[in-house]
Structure formats: C-alpha cells, structure tokens
Structure 1
Amino acid sequence: MQDFAFYFKLGWQHIISLDALDHLLFILALSAIYLLSNWRQVLVLVTAFTIGHSLTLALSVYEILAVKDSLVEFLIPCTIIITAVFNFFQKDFTPKSLRLNYFLALFFGLIHGLGFANTIRFMLAKNQGIGWSLFSFNIGLEAGQIVVVMCILLLSFLIVNKWQVKRKWWVWALSGVAFCIALKMVVERNPIP
C-alpha cells in the first residue's frame, strides 16, 4: 500500500505541480471548448489522454520505445499549440464536431507519456514489478487531471453562464493563453542547434 501511495502522489504531482506547466496547458487547451454541462465528455477525453500517456509510459519503462528527451520536450508544447489552434477553428461546439478531440487527447497523450518515462524508470527498484507502480501513477495522474478539468469547467460556468461572456470568446481566451505560453516553450526547447 505504501508503494501505491508513493506512485499515486507522483502521478498527482505530475499534473498538479507548477513544474508540470506543459501538461496543465495541454489540459487547459483540450478542455477549453467544453462547459460544465459537458462534464461526461470531458471525463472520457481525460481518460483517453491517460490511456495514451500510460501506453507510451509503459513502453518506455519496459525499454520497448525510446525517444530522445530533447525531442519529446519539444513535441509536448507542439501538442498544446495544435490543440489551441484547433479550438480557434471550431464553428460550433456540438459533440459531433468535437469528436476529433478524443483522437487528439489519445494521440497527444502518447507524446506526453514519453516525457516522464525516464524519470519513473530510474525510480523503480530493479527487482520491483512495475505494473502496480504504473497503475498507481496513472490513478494519481487521472485524479489530478479530473481536479484540474473540474476547476476549468467551473470557471467556464461562471464566465459563460453567469457573466454571459460569449462562449467563443472564452474558448479563444483560454486557447490564446495556452498557445502563447506553448509557443515560448517551443522556441526555448527547439532541439535543432
């Protein structure tokens, strides 16, 4: 149970910590187009991200997949930029028009999972089974993401429903913030000398 608590906390901090700004920005960009009434869709979306994240994390920890850290650290803010740009071109916010978001969450989750693989691999003891550790980490990750998404959805409820700000403007504001910070990260992390 002690291992579960340790890796759960590690997964939680992987999302909640300010050191995880790139992951927080991705979640912000991904959930910017949803309202509180869409919470079920957002939970599926967050779970798709966790599945993608978990898959490459496991493949990396088992040393089946290896990608240079510098490339991964560059690609992560690229996923934020693409997601934010996608938000700018949304004409309506119907579930049918947002289906691409599930693919983005899953696919970009694959990239984000590579970002933490080396760190968690070194934390695992040589004789320790990693299945339970990865499971615990992913439960913590999912819990953290749900808390972040619920905060974003509650804020969107206040802004869009209570203060009557046009939904499109709200989406553009959140996406614009995510886009600008991610663009700065892309420039700073450019792996090409």
Structure 2
Amino acid sequence: MQDFTFYFKLGWEHIISWDALDHILFVLALSAIYLLKNWKQVLVLVTAFTIGHSLTLALSVYEIIKIKDSLVEFLIPCTIVATAVFNFFQKDFEPRNLRLNYFLALFFGLIHGLGFANTIRFMLAGDQSIGWSLFAFNIGLEAGQAIVVLCILLLSFLIVNKLKIKRTWWVWTLSAIAFGVACKMIVERWIG
C-alpha cells in the first residue's frame, strides 16, 4: 500500500504542480470547448489521454520504445498548439461533432507519456510490481486531471451560463491562452 500511495502522489503531482504547466495547458485546451453539462464526455476524453499516457509510460519502462527527451519536450507544446488551433475551427460545440477529440486525446497522450517516461523508468527500475506502480501513478494522474477539468468546467459555467459571455469567445480565449504559452515553450525548447 505504501508503494501505491507513493506512485499515486507522483501521478497527482505530475498534473497538480507548477512543473506540470504543459500538462495543465493541454487539459485546458482539450476541455475548453466543453461546458459543465458535458462533464461525462470530458471525463472520457481525459481518460483517453491517460490511456495514451499510460501506454507509452509502460512501453518506455520496459524499454520497448526510447525517444530523446529533447524531442519529446519539444513535441509536448506542439500538441497543445494543435489542440488550441483545432478549437478555433470548431463551429458546433456539441459533443457528437467533436469525436475527433477522443483520437487527439489518445494520440497526444502517447506523446505526453514519453515526457515523464525517463523519470519514472529510473524509479521503477528496482520495483518488483511495475504494473501496480504504473496503475497507482495513472490513478493519481487521472484524479489530478479530474480536478483540473472540474475547475475549468465550473469556470466555464460561471462565464458562459451566468455572465452570459458568448461561448465562442470563451473557447477562443482559453485556446488563445494555451496557444500563446505553448508557442513560448516551443521557442524555448527549440533554442534550448
């Protein structure tokens, strides 16, 4: 149980910390087009992201795939930019018209999972129960994402439903924030 708690906390902190800004920005861009009433769809969406994330973490821990950290760190903000740009071209925000988002979440989750792979690989190297530890990490990650999504959806409820700001403007504002910060990360990671 002690290992479960350790890896759960590690997964939680992977999203709920200032160091996880790129992760939070991706969840922000992914969730921007949804409202509180769509919470089930968003939960499925972030779960698809976690599945992709988990898959590459597991493949990396077992050293089936290896990609240079610098490339992964560059690609992560690119996923944020792509998701934000996708949001700008949406005309209908109904969940049935946003099925491509599930694929994007899963695919981009694969890339994000590589970003933490080297760190967790070293932690798990001597661990006898890699599967249990990865499970705990992913449960912590999912819990953290659920909190971030809940905050975004509650804020969207306040802005769109209560303050009556046009939904398109709200989506574009969140997407522009994610886009701008991610572009800055791309430049920093390309040069650095």
With normalisation by structure 1, the TM-score equals 0.97
The one-letter amino acid paired with 1:15 is I
In structure 1, the partner of 2:41 is 41
Query: Cα offset for 1:96?
Result: 2.2
Taking only the aligned residue pairs, the percentage that are identical comes to 81
Q: Is 1:75 equivalent to 2:75 in the alignment?
A: yes
* Residue 125 of structure 1: how far off its partner (Å): 4.4
Q: Secondary structure at the match of 1:142?
A: helix
The equivalent residue for 1:9 is: 9
Shift of 1:95: 1.7
What is the alpha-carbon distance in structure 1 between the residues aligned to residue 152 and residue 127 of structure 2?
41
Structure 1 position 10, deviation (Å): 0.1
Question: Unaligned stretches of 5+ in structure 1?
Answer: none
Q: CA deviation at 1:109?
A: 0.2
CA distance in 1, matches of 2:55, 2:47: 12
Q: Distance in 2 between matches of 1:95 and 1:144?
A: 23
SS at match of 2:97: coil
1:154 matched to 2:122? no
Any idea what the Cα deviations from partners look like across 1:111-168, whole Å, max 9, x if unmatched? Answer: 0000001001111242522111100000000000000000000000000000000000
CA contact (8 A) 2:26 2:79 kept: yes
- 2:119 maps to 119
Is there any run of 5+ residues in structure 2 with no aligned partner, and where? none
Would the alpha carbon gap of residues 89 and 128 (structure 1) be closer, same or farther in structure 2, given more than 3 Å must change?
same
Matches within 5 A, 1:1-193: 1-190=1-190
Matched residue type, 1:126: G
Q: Aligned partners of 1:158, 1:109: CA distance in 2, in Å?
A: 29
Query: What per-residue deviation string (whole Å, max 9, x for no partner) do you get for residues 80-120 of structure 1?
Result: 00000000000011122211100010000000000001001
- Whether the aligned pair in 1 keeps the contact of 2:32 and 2:171 (CA below 8 Å) is yes
- Corresponding residue SS for 2:185: helix
The RMSD of aligned alpha carbons is: 1.0
State the secondary structure of the residue aligned to 2:96.
Answer: coil
- So what's the TM-score if we normalise by structure 2? 0.98
CA contact (8 A) 2:61 2:124 kept: no
* Structure 2 contact 48–102 (Cα < 8 Å) conserved: yes
What amino acid is the match of 1:143? A
- Which has the higher mean CA deviation after the structures are superposed, 96-105 or 68-77? 96-105
Find the aligned partners of 1:178 and 1:187 in 2 and give their Cα distance: 14
Using the alignment, how far apart are the partners of 1:124 and 1:89 within structure 2?
42
Structure 1 residue identity aligned to 2:85:
V
